Amino acid sequence: MKKLSIAIALLTLICACNKKQENTDAKVIGKPEIQVQDGRFTPEVMWALGKMGEKAVSPDGKHIAYTVTYYDMEANKGNAEIYLIPSEGGEADRLTTTSSSEFNLVWKDDETLLFCRDNDIVAMAMKDGRETVVGTVERGLEGFKLAPDGKSVVFITTKPVVRPGHLEKLYAGLDKTTGRINEDLMYRHWDNWVDEYPQIFLADFDGKKVDVDNAVCLIDSTFECPMRPWGGVEQFNYSPDSKKIAYTCRKKTGYDYAHSTNSDIFLYDIEKNTTRNLSEGIMGYDQNPVFSHNGKMIAWESMERDGYESDKLRLMVMDLASGERTDMSTDFDYNFVNISWTDDDKEILGVVYYRGTDQIFACDRATKTFRQISYGYHDVHSFELVNGKLYADQVSMQYPSEIYVYNLSDNKGEGKKVSAINDDVLSQVRMGKVEEHWITTVDGKKMLTWLIYPYNYDSTKTYPALLYCEGGPQSEVGQFWSTRWNFMVMSGAEYFIIAPNRRGTIGFGTEWCEAISGDYGGLCMQDYMRAADFFADSVKQIDKERLGACGASFGGYSVYWLAGHNHDVKGYADGRRFKALLAHNGMFNFEQQYLETEEMWFDNWDLGGPYWDWNNPQIKKSYANSPHLFVDKWNAPICVIHSEFDFRIVASEGMAAYNAAQMRHIPSRYLYFPDETHWVLKPQNSLLWHRNFIDWFDTNLK
């Protein structure tokens, strides 16, 4: 139950597969031809768009290399290729044409681009496109970084989990058994069985060959670096003199790992072969270290409390000589991520989740004051500073990832678009209008709620509306673009969408975020009902008797909870606020969920602990809001979606909810994916998901 925007990066990572496989299908997937009918943005149009994965600006600032993934629906897969454009914008040149995906773009110099393909690190000469394999990692390559002096690389690969001897002997002669024996926790995580773990290796590089055979592992024991499931190359960095490496690691396994978020920043001295813990005593997540240009300081993202994965992400800075640590964001009540330093080290740049959008901010190191650089209805995912310009990967509810440029001196600048990955398709589409509303909650606070209009909006007509329930729960309804929940697809299906930033969302200060923990059935649910009622009553083009609700993860739980509190509602003809519901991978039975999930710290924090601790008033309150306790009140058609490889909220939760609806003779539908995770990522599965979504609500609301 993390930010849904993370699914965007995860999808790119999966498509850019990091394990070498037999390539039995040599077909190169290219950009599809598509004609949009009637300006409607459909799921089919969405999957025809190119998906930008990552970008890298050349050292001289003249060019931007980036990857784009296109998808073949018949083949049910996609693959990424590398493109190059001038940094000021212009025609894009395609640099690769292969049946494998390229990823992890790194400029060696202005004339040479390094990247990963399968298990290889490849060097491409810009003058003629000639490629040379400079290193091969047989176990699989997940990414790498090049030292500033160009003489070494740090790469990510995996090691297999080794069974202890007393269990290994049980497998003697059983090479075909599929049985798993576990004696500890964290044997599976999010969407994978923990059969291997990632670690970082340091290898010499002479400019022509990476000495993989003699690479040195920097992590002791069986600890992860980077941390699963989200971590990548951002979790480690070289010092400017290439003599030290700072990395993120949670030095815990099994039961301890499942109950703690206490990761640390470690500093490895290459010459001395010594390691120092820089964040010792800070009990929450510490991650993503970045050195200042003068090498004297290091900054990272830091959480204060152990077990609270959604604690405020502080900007922590350490003076490496004195060891003094400074929280730069004590007076700044927002998360600060994707850290980088200005060339003079006077400011620290980052992305801030800010009031329903993700913007670039700068922190003045001397005064600890923050200024906003980017502005507008968009989310900045990441950015790179080169020669005073900020090259950002940016999306909104109305467009997928494109590259925008800001100036370091900007004060709430709008940015300049320099890429045009999907302009030819999007120029044929009529996107639904997006409005920002601040509505008053039941306790008198102001809540940002986005209202998205049907693509063919006609003020003389009425339309059905969908309440969108956000996952997380401590995430944000920002200006995201996704192939999972896409507001423009819903708009193209002729719906209004009501998308509240209810209690628990980030970007509105610590108090607003923390109001949800231990109160899943409280103000956050009142926020949803208040938003639905407000727009149903105030927008005459919304037919309040054709209102639905949908959501995933915590949003799926929200739909189940709303289903049990959908009776005797004033102002609705039959006392039902919602006439149709759809829940994806949601929590249904809290007691069941507590014992089936893997990251125990989450339920320990947000629910208060195990359900058997009945002497704890918080436990009684939390578990009393389990949706399965209110099934007797269900009175609206409900569609349940769940996936087998969701180890965060396991498939039995969805099956139980669907079975409950069936046994109560509630009109219901169950869409089950045996090969998907907490997300639906395979193209054909996603298309089925979207077609089912539209059909379900059309059937019950139109």
Strands 152-160, 196-204: pairing kind: antiparallel
Convert the pLDDT of each residue in 173-230 to its tens digit: 999 999 999 999 999 999 999 999 999 999 999 999 999 999 999 998 899 999 999 9
- Report how far apart, in Å, the C-alpha atoms of 338 and of each of 235, 359, 482, 538 are: 10, 11, 20, 39
Please give the pLDDT value at position 184: 96
Convert the pLDDT of each residue in 219-259 to its tens digit: 988 999 999 999 999 999 999 999 999 999 999 999 999 99
**Encoding tokens for residue 288?**
């993503």
Q: Is 222 helix (H, G, I), strand (E, B) or coil?
A: coil
Please give the pLDDT value at position 20: 37
Q: Which whole number is the average pLDDT over 125-150?
A: 97
Q: Which whole number is the average pLDDT over 50-59?
A: 97
User: Which residue in 189, 378, 584, 678 is the catalytic one?
Assistant: 678
Any long-range contacts for 389-394 (C-beta under 8 Å, 24+ apart)?
A: 389/61, 389/87, 390/349, 390/360, 391/55, 391/57, 391/64, 391/87, 391/418, 392/360, 393/52, 393/54, 393/55
Please give the pLDDT value at position 672: 98
- Asked if pLDDT for residue 271 goes beyond 60, the answer is yes
- Report how far apart, in Å, the C-alpha atoms of 581 and of each of 345, 465, 466, 638, 665 are: 51, 12, 9, 5, 15
The Cα–Cα gap between 588 and 594 comes to 11
Does the annotation mark 63 as catalytic? no
Convert the pLDDT of each residue in 334-348 to its tens digit: 999 999 999 999 999
Burial class (CB in 10 A: 0-12, 13-18, 19+), 321: exposed
The Cα–Cα gap between 145 and 147 comes to 7
| Average pLDDT, rounded, for the chain | 95
- Asked if pLDDT for residue 63 goes beyond 50, the answer is yes
Convert the pLDDT of each residue in 4-45 to its tens digit: 333 334 433 334 333 333 344 568 999 998 899 899 999 999
Listed residue (554, 553, 529, 472) closest to 506, CA to CA: 472
Please give the pLDDT value at position 26: 65
Q: Is 112 helix (H, G, I), strand (E, B) or coil?
A: strand
- Report how far apart, in Å, the C-alpha atoms of 14 and of each of 160, 412, 568 are: 20, 35, 46
- Asked if pLDDT for residue 464 goes beyond 50, the answer is yes
| Contact between 215 and 200 (Cβ < 8 Å) | no
Structural domains of the chain, ranges and CATH numbers in brackets: 1-136 (no CATH), 341-425 (no CATH), 430-701 (3.40.50.1820)
Convert the pLDDT of each residue in 561-577 to its tens digit: 999 999 999 999 999 99
User: Which residue in 646, 668, 686, 690 is the catalytic one?
Assistant: 646
Does the annotation mark 87 as catalytic? no
**Residue 494 burial (CB count, 10 A):** 18
Q: Which whole number is the average pLDDT over 660-678?
A: 98
User: Which residue in 58, 374, 517, 553 is the catalytic one?
Assistant: 553
Q: Which whole number is the average pLDDT over 65-81?
A: 97
- Report how far apart, in Å, the C-alpha atoms of 463 and of each of 39, 336, 546, 698, 699 are: 18, 39, 8, 11, 14
Please give the pLDDT value at position 2: 47
Does the annotation mark 553 as catalytic? yes
Please give the pLDDT value at position 27: 83
